[in-house]
Amino acid sequence: MIKYIVMDIDGTLLNSKNEISKKTKDILISFQKNGGKLILASGRSYQRLLPIASQLCMNRYGGFLIEVDGIGFYNIETEKREILKEMNLLEVQSLIQYLMSLDCEVQVCEENAIYAYIPERLIPIKEKIRKERNLDKDFPWTSGPWDFIFDMRKAYSSIYYFEDCSEIKGKIRKIQIMDYETHIEEVFQSLNKTFKNQFEFFRTSYRQIEILPFGYSKGKTLKHIMKLNHIHRNEILSFGDGENDVSLFEQTEKSYAMGQAKEYVKQHASHITKSNNEDGIYYALKKEGF
């Protein structure tokens, strides 16, 4: 019997308009009314997950938030947060310098700040987009997983642009790389060859790589939560669309890859549902009898 549903956010729970469809929201709330609990697992911090949890009424029913791809989690019922791992600059300095040498956009994420390195070749692309959209002068230059201009200010109170690693301060939660899909593929292969068994690398979208401390993932943290709460593999259902969601699939007996997911992700799921723009979670849950 399924007692828990764990799901990725971007590209899974949210559609391309950054919204939860009414069908999906209603069926997830109904699942909780009948005694089930939700677990949100994302690359986002828990501050950015709380509003989504509120939309799903998790503040009433409880549940968990797995944040920053598994470096921490938050118990909604007890309001307790546990950070499992952080990195310091010394640990990642050579990695950041290597990424800068590969001429890709690098974003170093702390708790409330992001440090971005933007290579010169991307500046004309971003300038063109800014002009076409008539963006304000203070609009961030940072890329997002789907676009070369994305406003990170809701996620991070401070955004800095760096040219040298020494400018980065504080404890680092994760590093992310944004670029064209072809370049991302080249960078991914290079990272796995050069820094194998030093960090975890995940292609979270066609244009994004996320880097975590070695040995940490959404799945590892889900396993930790399952152990603490005596949840069995056959009692939890997982949903995801990115390579970082495969680790969730590994912890659950039944899993669903979203319809738009890459073949690698689909191969590791026990089932495939419709895309995030086609109410994929809703249709999978209806198929499961909810």
Q: What is the pLDDT of residue 204?
A: 82
Stretch 123-150: mean pLDDT: 92
pLDDT given for residue 152 in this prediction? 84
Pairing of strands 174-178, 208-213: antiparallel
Q: Which amino acid is at 203?
A: R
Q: Do the Cβ atoms of 12 and 240 come closer than 8 Å?
A: yes
Task: Give me the pLDDT at residue 271, please.
Answer: 97
3-state secondary structure labels for all residues of 90-110: HHHHHHHHHHHHCCCEEEEEC
Per-residue model confidence as pLDDT tens digits over 82-126: 999 988 888 899 999 999 999 999 999 998 899 999 999 999 999
The DSSP symbol for 14 reads B
Decide if 39 contacts 64 (C-beta within 8 A).
Answer: yes
Query: Could you give the CA distance from residue 28 to residue 190 in angstroms, rounded to a whole number?
Result: 40
Average pLDDT for residues 55-79, to the nearest whole number? 95
**How does residue 193 score in pLDDT terms, banded at 50, 70 and 90?**
very high
pLDDT value for 169: 85
Residue 160 has what pLDDT?
Answer: 94
Q: Picking from 124-128, 151-155, 197-201, 219-223, which range would have the lowest pLDDT averaged per residue?
A: 151-155
Provide the pLDDT for residue 45.
86
Q: How confident is the model at residue 52 (pLDDT cuts 50, 70, 90)?
A: very high
Average pLDDT over residues 31-51: 93
Q: Does position 285 have pLDDT exceeding 90, yes or no?
A: yes
Band (289; pLDDT cuts 50, 70, 90): very high
Mean pLDDT over 37-44 rounds to 95
82 DSSP β-pair partners: 73
Q: For 261-277, how does the pLDDT look when each residue is reduced to its tens digit (9 = 90+)?
A: 989 999 999 999 999 99
pLDDT at 171: 87
**Whether this model's pTM surpasses 0.85:** yes
